Amino acid sequence: MPGGTPHPHGLHRVITPAGVLPQPAEVIDNRMVCQANELLIEVGALNVDAASFTQVKALVGEDPQAIAAHMQGIVAARGKLHNPVTGSGGMLIGRVKEIGPDFPNADGLQVGDRIATLVSLSLTPLQIHRVAAVHLAAHQLEVEGEAILFASGLYARLPADMDERLALAVLDVAGAPAQTARLVRPGMRVVVMGGAGKAGLLSLYAAKQAAGAAGQVIGLAPFAAECAEMRACDWIDTVLHADARDAVAVLHAVTQATGGAMADVVINCVNVPDTEMASILAVREGGTVCFFSMATSFTAAALGAEGVGKDATLLIGNGYARGHADFALGLLRQSAGLRAIFQRRYAGDKVPA
Amino acid sequence: MPGGTPHPHGLHRVITPAGVLPQPAEVIDNRMVCQANELLIEVGALNVDAASFTQVKALVGEDPQAIAAHMQGIVAARGKLHNPVTGSGGMLIGRVKEIGPDFPNADGLQVGDRIATLVSLSLTPLQIHRVAAVHLAAHQLEVEGEAILFASGLYARLPADMDERLALAVLDVAGAPAQTARLVRPGMRVVVMGGAGKAGLLSLYAAKQAAGAAGQVIGLAPFAAECAEMRACDWIDTVLHADARDAVAVLHAVTQATGGAMADVVINCVNVPDTEMASILAVREGGTVCFFSMATSFTAAALGAEGVGKDATLLIGNGYARGHADFALGLLRQSAGLRAIFQRRYAGDKVPA
């Protein structure tokens, strides 16, 4: 049995170092015994954070079995899918297996209900018994396994009108479009870097809804194919073909696209490091940059703004915003075009492991 | 002569990797030849970023000569005082030696004027010819050297009514109190973690000015002596003695101090890693955490908030805010008590190197 009194934040499952919370912990207790305030889940799929999946793929190659083995190794060592290089995790989909009698927010939940957890895999006790498939493009693993949700953990019931892997892909990045909607006002110019990824496309859609016809919504991506895909989206006003790591190229492209006004809001959804400066150079004085990329360097962002004398608001993209799951799923229901892209990308390919 | 056309952001001085800006660069060209749009400075003192100074001190010990040698080694390798472990720099004080004919914002500046640069040493071309003294408590090096300010670089003329090292200590962290003043509204509860440091004390003062008599300004620090110093400050309403790395202890302390309401705004000025979670747990749902610590981990903050389901605004503390230098120096002019602490700490001790 996991040690100590069950704690809402999962302190009773931290092994090393002692006294920290489960996310920063190196190792947590992943024994699948449901404590009084916990939820035990039979896991069906893992949606790995893009920065983590990309790092593992770069390390072991595009071989599904090698990727599966590496992910299993992380879980075996740490008790959670917490990538030690990127620091990030992802999320999961599964079926409720046991509800602890003191689990809060059960809200009519029944054993057997299908749910997605809305907290990171970087803090979720997990066991992977078997990997059934690895979906390279979707950064997803189909698995047989078990996981624990703490009392403070959030979850969403899966919608009945959507493919489960599609819902998972959306829920994993639901914070980005929800925060974008809060930041953007009518008439604003908005640049979404990494605009062709899933967080990027959802954020672009949310940005256009909030900015309206008078606004200018700009998607930026490094590959021609991504740019072509964005040009086919009628909610994206301008597409820029540039590498977000090239701060100087982005500065020139955004200057030209906005007639020198620069962006009121920049949303960074890029999955590679060294894109902080481009984001800061793209925003106007007094504007806001929101970093959702898990590859963001805190010091590069803070010192970068100071280094170029840019008085802008710099936000750490919070993965959670009240109502973000319903908000993000709602965007797919509103736009057949957006849903078609997501269906094709994240619920279409199947590569056996 | 440094290569290429002089660029406002100093691109012409980047050596490796090619095509990046000077801050993320590994090595920059520190030849002291003033280009047409640059300013050449005769350096008198370096104020090292607290996270950087603490890291070097932990590595080489409290021996001033060893610290001086390590700092000189960084500059010899990189062309700038850009700590490769912490990613941070600091700032400098000096005298104008040469003004390039195309340097913007010269604004009546004369050769011989004493200035402080307001951009980070992590991107400033620097040569240290000699270290004259190391001030351990103040994180300052008195040096003979030269530095270059790019066209986009900011500087402040040094005030005539203040000791120069005192002014430098204040200017180095001027962003923190200025951003605090923007975030705090009358009646708010504000927690400043690392409250006894220089950024912390200035932020506490700015917070009390903005929160007013109906507000509650709370300083938190890990050492009894720091807490005693804060208790003597009449602008601090509540002093909490806790280690910011202990998220659970901070949660309990702030819960008790605020009667369970938690903080509207948390300002993190701590100089050690692993304090993100305590900051997030201390803020109320819907509140704001502003991270000024250069030891902040982006992923720990982003995933930490998600992990505990906290819908809070998370800010990367921007070192620059319009007017921040005058604002911060003004606080010392308003409060004899605040000024006395700074005078004693940052302009009092002299330890020969």
Q: For the residues B291-298, what does the mean pLDDT come to?
A: 94
- Look at A297 and B298 and tell me if their CB atoms are within 8 Å: yes
- Pick from B24, B89, B154: CB nearest A300: B24
Quick check: A239 and A267 in contact, CB under 8 A?
no
Instruction: Report the residue of chain B nearest A296, measured CA to CA.
Output: B298
Give the B window 111-150 contacts with A, CB below 8 Å. 118-120, 122-123
Strand partners, A96: A41
Q: How many CB atoms lie within 10 A of CB A157?
A: 15
CB atoms B297 and A298 under 8 Å: yes
Instruction: Identify the weakest region by mean pLDDT among A132-146, A235-249, B102-116, B216-230.
Output: B102-116
Q: What is the pLDDT of residue A179?
A: 97
Q: Which of B23, B47, B324 to mutate to test the interface with A (most CBs of A within 10 A)?
A: B23
Inter-residue contact B319 to B302 (CB < 8 Å): no
Contact yes or no for A246/A238 (Cβ under 8 A): no
Read off the pLDDT of residues B308-346 as tens digits, 9 standing for 90 and up.
888 999 999 998 888 899 899 999 999 999 999 999 998
Q: How many Cα atoms within 13 Å fall on the side-chain side of residue B170? A: 29
Could you tell me whether strands B90-99 and B39-48 are parallel, antiparallel, or unpaired per DSSP bridges? antiparallel
Best mutation target, B14, B120, B182, B308, to test chain A (most A CBs within 10 A): B308
Least confident of A179-183, B74-78, B150-154, B289-293: B150-154
A207 pLDDT tier (thresholds 50, 70, 90): very high
Give the per-residue pLDDT at A286.
96
CA gap A97, A118 in Å, rounded: 17
- CB distance B143 to B44 below 8 Å: yes
Nearest to A310 among B24, B123, B320 (CB): B320
**A53 close to A169: Cβ distance less than 8 angstroms:** no
Contact criterion met (CB below 8 Å) for B76 and B30: no
**What is the distance of C-alpha B72 from the center of its chain?**
20
Residues 94-113 of A with CB under 8 A from B: none
Residue B271's pLDDT band, with cuts at 50, 70 and 90, is: confident
Report residue A249 as tokens: 């190229």
To test the contact with chain B by mutation, choose from A120, A268, A276, A306 the residue with the greatest count of B C-beta atoms within 10 A, namely A306
Name the strand (E) or helix (H) holding A165: helix A164-172
**Which residues of A, range 184-243, sit inside 8 Å of B by Cβ?**
none
pTM of whole model > 0.90?
no
